[in-house]
């Protein structure tokens, strides 16, 4: 495909007008002001549109689309134990498959080209990733609640199985990370064994960390004053590249650990606000050189997967927190949603509209009422745009969504199946109550 006469969001988050961008196979072949001579197939009229990197949703749980709007107005511990866990007990593999497809559809509809998923039903989510054409770093969350040999835990066995069978599958679209759900769902002996396994396999790790004050303080009570970050560090988890989701209650000493160990913090502003957990201090993290990416968490606590909404919150919250309008700029936020997210996933050839990079792209309609006038298109992307402005989403040079059409899935069937299965599960939960 050749994008003609289109505005391009550059590496430094400035905008170049009237550009030509050529895609060949899986990569961007050319970016420039002159029309290339080579035939790249279809020409796409970019007038009134902007081409930019696709987003990375750095922390989510895709099958939880089954729970959209189901567990409301509860703090995290009650939300989990009273609503989520009983519902999840009734989910089957095929349910997770359709729910994951629905989540992927929502993400590619709103410009997300890659996501980091932490859940179970591994094979079913992987199947959805394969068929849809999206990129994913998937990890099977490990929970234990007791001491023992990690190799005896079914979730760890599943994690190792999918790592051996699926890591870097589909020309690298799928990567398998290892996941330890959280400190409060695992004993220290398990955390230490998990760290050794991640190092042995040479893979990335994905964890929940300091999401609530209760989680953070109870960890300190259990472990001689150590915060979750200090505990994970002492257990050796941060010897591998790690994405730590939430970090709402991270202390200064935790931030120093993140910086020193190269931990990525995946902030989830909508979910943390909705569950009343608090606000991640992204300004302090950025000021201390920590790589910060953005996640939506699941729709069970958000209730959507639109990264434009997350960017909006990421830009506003620090300004209100510090009562300073000049901190965490729109360009900082766009970097968090693109380059930083791909960095967290270990995808160094993604996140930029440059020749030689993977063609993971989105086209945004900027010729709209709510983005006129164009004093600063970058400002408009963060403060005025929404996922509904995305016209086209491409992953590895393949168009997955265009002008209302999902090109790799039967979206009506996906919606129907997810609705039907969510109703069945809800009825089963009520019957068992």
> Across the strands, what pairs with 265?
244, 292
Q: In the chain, which segments carry CATH 3.20.20.140? A: 55-345
Q: Worst-scoring range by mean pLDDT, 69-73, 217-221, 284-288? A: 69-73
DSSP states along 318-346: HHHHHT-TTSS-HHHHHHHHTHHHHHHHT
Q: Does the reported pTM lie above 0.95?
A: yes
Helices (H), 352-392: 377-383
Number of Cβ within a 10 Å radius of residue 379: 16
Q: In the chain, which segments carry CATH 2.30.40.10? A: 2-53+351-402
d(C-alpha 422, C-alpha 112), whole Å? 24
* Contact between 392 and 111 (Cβ < 8 Å): no
φ, ψ of residue 58 to 5 degrees: the values are: -80, -5
d(C-alpha 327, C-alpha 53), whole Å? 23
Q: What SS3 class is residue 150? A: helix
Residue 244: is its pLDDT beyond 90?
A: yes
Pairing between strand 43-45 and 49-53? unpaired
Residue 161's pLDDT is what? Answer: 98
Residue 428's pLDDT is what? Answer: 97
Residue 238: is its pLDDT beyond 90?
A: yes
Determine the average pLDDT of the residues in 422-428: 97
Q: Which CATH class is domain 55-345?
A: alpha beta
Residue 131: is its pLDDT beyond 90?
A: yes
Residue 76: is its pLDDT beyond 90?
A: no
pLDDT in tens, 7-50: 999 999 999 999 999 999 999 999 999 999 999 999 999 999 99
Residue 431's pLDDT is what? Answer: 93
Determine the average pLDDT of the residues in 136-161: 96
Residue 433: band (very low, low, confident or very high) from pLDDT cuts 50, 70, 90: confident
Helices (H), 116-234: 122-132, 154-166, 188-201, 213-222, 228-234
Q: What SS3 class is residue 358? A: strand
pLDDT in tens, 183-233: 999 999 999 999 999 999 999 999 999 999 999 999 999 999 999 999 999
Residue 132: is its pLDDT beyond 90?
A: yes
Residue 232's pLDDT is what? Answer: 98
CATH superfamily of 2-53+351-402: Urease, subunit C, domain 1 (2.30.40.10)
Residue 75: band (very low, low, confident or very high) from pLDDT cuts 50, 70, 90: confident
Residue 240: is its pLDDT beyond 90?
A: yes
Residue 321 token pair:
């927190």
Residue 121 token pair:
């039903």
* Contact between 292 and 336 (Cβ < 8 Å): yes
């Amino acid at each position: 495909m050749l994008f003609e006469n289109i505005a391009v969001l550059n590496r430094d988050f400035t905008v170049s007008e009237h550009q030509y961008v050529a895609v060949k196979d899986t990569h961007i072949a050319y970016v420039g002001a002159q029309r290339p001579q080579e035939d790249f197939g279809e020409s796409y009229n970019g007038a009134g549109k902007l081409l930019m990197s696709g987003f990375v949703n750095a922390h989510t749980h895709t099958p939880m689309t089954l729970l959209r709007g189901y567990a409301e107005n509860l703090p995290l511990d009650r939300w989990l134990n009273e609503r989520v866990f009983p519902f999840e007990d009734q989910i089957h593999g095929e349910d997770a498959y359709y729910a994951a497809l629905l989540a992927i559809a929502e993400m590619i509809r709103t410009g997300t080209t890659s996501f980091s998923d932490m859940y179970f039903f591994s094979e079913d989510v992987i199947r959805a990733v394969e068929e849809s054409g999206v990129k994913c770093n998937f990890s099977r969350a490990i929970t234990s609640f007791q001491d023992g040999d990690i190799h005896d835990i079914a979730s760890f066995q599943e994690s190792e199985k999918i790592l051996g069978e699926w890591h870097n599958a589909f020309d690298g679209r799928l990567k398998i990370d290892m996941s330890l759900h959280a400190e409060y769902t695992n004993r220290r002996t398990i955390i230490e064994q998990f760290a050794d396994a991640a190092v042995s396999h040479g893979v990335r790790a994905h964890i929940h960390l300091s999401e609530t004050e209760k989680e953070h303080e109870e960890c300190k009570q259990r472990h001689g004053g150590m915060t979750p970050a200090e505990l994970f560090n002492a257990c050796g988890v941060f010897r591998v590249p790690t994405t730590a989701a939430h970090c709402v209650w991270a202390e200064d000493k935790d931030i120093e650990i993140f910086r020193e160990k190269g931990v990525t913090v995946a902030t989830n502003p909508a979910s943390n606000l909705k569950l009343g957990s608090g606000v991640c201090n992204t300004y302090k993290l950025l000021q201390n050189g920590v790589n910060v990416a953005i996640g939506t968490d699941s729709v069970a606590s958000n209730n959507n997967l639109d990264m434009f909404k997350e960017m909006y919150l990421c830009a506003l919250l620090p300004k209100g927190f510090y009562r300073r309008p000049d901190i965490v700029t729109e360009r900082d936020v766009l970097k968090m949603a693109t380059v930083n997210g791909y960095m967290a996933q270990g995808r160094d050839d993604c996140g930029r509209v440059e020749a030689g990079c993977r063609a993971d792209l989105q086209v945004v309609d900027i010729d709209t009422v709510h983005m006129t006038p164009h004093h600063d298109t970058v400002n408009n992307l963060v403060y005025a745009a929404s996922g509904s402005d995305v016209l086209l989403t491409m992953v590895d040079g393949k168009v997955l969504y265009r002008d209302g059409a999902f090109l790799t899935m039967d979206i009506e069937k996906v919606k129907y199946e997810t609705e039907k299965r969510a109703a069945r599960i809800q009825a089963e939960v009520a019957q068992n109550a």
